[in-house]
Chains A and B, each alone.
Chain A
Amino acid sequence: MSSADIEIKKLKKVYYKDKMEIPVLAGLDLSISAGEFVALMGPSGSGKSTLLHLIGGLDTATAGSVRVGESLLETMSEAQLTSWRSRHVGFIFQMYHLVPVLTAAQNVELPLLLFKMKSSERKERVKTALTIVGLGDRMDHRPNQLSGGQEQRVAIARAIVTDPDVILADEPTGDLDAKTSEEILNLLNLLNEEFGKTILMVTHDPKAAAHAKKTVHLEKGQLEREEFSNRQPMAAAR
């Protein structure tokens, strides 16, 4: 089990469209402790997803610094970032992004193919990850044979199978009904509380944000405010 803190300093991101400057993040400072579950909220265009992409090394900042654990992302090349992502970050997307021609197990196995690992060990890890998300009995199902909630569980299993330090989730419940959303959020709580994962989740939904320990509100690329939840840990709730 591994976890990492995140330190963001004076982070700026400007996009250019037809020679027009579009500032998205305007000198943002943010600290997230290791093992924290943080929800990122804010209106559309406030820079939530951009921040997530920058922390995940999918995009590079215009200025400022992003440190995840020991890694300073602005000092890394694209190839280094690609390799770093595979070892340190697990991604969960709103639309799941599963490969339709592969089974659940094969989808979960994908990130492990980047590591030198025996096939038997890979299979064992895949089985463990799918069991954690409650799909141990759906290993050989293709995405089109699964419900939306089950697809997102497979995506979560894919995100945790490499035991990453940080899980970045972009609207993970945005495409799910209320009941299934609750199940997915409980799963994220489990990963945070029992496996100690640092989780950063972008959401529009206050009910989803209530599952996090801290909610960070962004407005026009700036930190507007931080709220701390009084949510009971799952074990205590049980």
Chain B
Amino acid sequence: MALPLSYNWRNLFVRRTTTALTILVIAAVVGVLSWMLGFWTALSGSLSFAQDQHKLIVLRQASTSETNSAIPPEESNKLSQLDREVALDPTSGQPLKSPEMIVQVSLPRMSDGGRTRANVAVRGLTDDGFKVHRNVRIIEGRAFQQGQLEVIVGESISRQFIGLKMGDTLDLGYSGNRGYKIVGVFSAGGAPMESEVWGPLTTLMNAYQRNAYSSVVLRLDDKFNAADVIRKVEGPTIQLTAQTEAQYWDAQAKNVRTYLFIVSGLVGVMCVAAAFSIANTMYSSVAARSREFAMLRTIGFSGRAIMVSIMIEAVFLSVIGGLLGCAGAYIYLQIMGRTKDMFGASTFTTMAFEISMTPMIVVYSLGAVTLVGLLGALTPGIRAAKIRVVEALREA
């Protein structure tokens, strides 16, 4: 039979300063941990929406992103060799190919009132682009018209940058002196494309004096395997390179993965520090209560019951610290803004996503810190359980 929980709870407040400091350490660890988990969840969520295995992004040979790729129209014609593998447009009966051009523009961030700027991708594409990028839909306004100075903006980016609302005018072009009216907002189901501005291909190519596409995006027929088609694209007759959408965005997230890997290491070190802090608190508690434990053993409580009791106190500490940490991270996100941007590894453009403190993140964070608490309390718990009753009772 275990000791009553009220016993464990009240014991936390006997050594208030030590308890408060330990809770503070745990709260700091959980704050960073939950923020990091939120970041991971948001990033993974965004990338998980770009997992189309039948959308192929064709680039110039040796290019790693659309930004450093250039496919002249005559080279793109070689892709007609893939007409058997590419899906057909049900209305026109033509293969679904979307030649696209991408440039970056620097725009003011909304989060700091426009003091800093970040690169945003502007994509030029034909009407076929909407058929190739199936998950894109207009959620406000309408699509741009070819030949017009009109653009549409991604849902995510419209919330993150100044001047990207419906009806605003965006200056684009080589010298940035042509105003493009924002006529619509589009959603891409959370995929990274929501962080882009889209406009008419030919108009934008002229504006940026481009004579080559950045990429050609193909929609494959479901019957064909992407890997086989990629081999054909990279073969001697076409001599371009290709990646599925999933592969492409996975590579772009490399920077953030490295960053999060470093943060994870830091959180790991903090967890060890928290475990030591809990161990220290519980050790001093055990040392001060040796006669109390001896009395409990005398009246019939087992060593295991006392060890469990110490563990429960550590779990209380961990959960209080954990809840404070989660609350701190939540407040931080509310004040500093939940939208975060990621710099593409080789696109040099921004991908925006929202960090949320989901119940799952709270559960994971509390679970992790509870484990840390239990580990920290293990040795003090064993020490309390193995107390020498007669000697402890004789202590003055």
Chain A interface (Cβ < 8 Å from any Cβ of B)? 49, 53, 56, 58-59, 79, 82-83, 85-87, 91, 93, 95, 97, 99-102, 106, 109-111, 113-115, 158, 170
The CA of A82 and the CA of B296, in the complex, are separated in Å by: 10
Q: Which residues of B contact A83 (CB under 8 A)?
A: 300
Indicate if the CB atoms of A53 and B390 lie closer than 8 Å: yes
Known: A58-B389, A95-B291. A114 touches B300 (CB 8 A): yes
Q: Which residues of A contact B390 (CB under 8 A)?
A: 53, 58-59
Indicate if the CB atoms of A113 and B11 lie closer than 8 Å: no
Indicate if the CB atoms of A56 and B3 lie closer than 8 Å: no
Q: Which residues of A contact B91 (CB under 8 A)?
A: none
A95: nearest chain-B partner, CB-CB: B291
The CA of A59 and the CA of B393, in the complex, are separated in Å by: 12
Q: Which residues of A contact B291 (CB under 8 A)?
A: 95, 97
Indicate if the CB atoms of A82 and B7 lie closer than 8 Å: no
Q: Which residues of A contact B299 (CB under 8 A)?
A: 85-86, 91, 110-111, 114, 158
Give the size of the chain B interface in residues (CB under 8 angstroms): 25
The DSSP consensus for interface residues of chain B is helix
Contact with A along B167-205 (1 / 0, CB 8 A): 000000000000000000000000000000000000000
Chain B interface (Cβ < 8 Å from any Cβ of A)? 1-4, 6-7, 10-11, 13-14, 291-292, 294-302, 389-390, 393-394
Indicate if the CB atoms of B298 and A58 lie closer than 8 Å: yes
Known: A53-B390, A58-B390, A93-B295. A102 touches B7 (CB 8 A): yes
Task: Knowing that A53-B390, A83-B300 touch, tell me 11 more A-B residue pairs with CB under 8 angstroms.
Answer: A58-B298, A79-B302, A86-B300, A91-B299, A93-B295, A97-B294, A101-B7, A101-B13, A102-B6, A106-B4, A110-B3
Indicate if the CB atoms of A82 and B297 lie closer than 8 Å: yes
Q: Which residues of A contact B292 (CB under 8 A)?
A: 97, 99
The CA of A170 and the CA of B294, in the complex, are separated in Å by: 14
Known: A93-B393, A113-B3. A101 touches B10 (CB 8 A): yes
Q: In whole Å, how far is A192's beta carbon from the nearest beta carbon of chain B?
A: 20
Indicate if the CB atoms of A85 and B298 lie closer than 8 Å: yes
B292: nearest chain-A partner, CB-CB: A99
The 7 closest A-B pairs by CB, nearest first: A86-B300, A101-B10, A97-B295, A111-B299, A114-B300, A113-B1, A85-B300
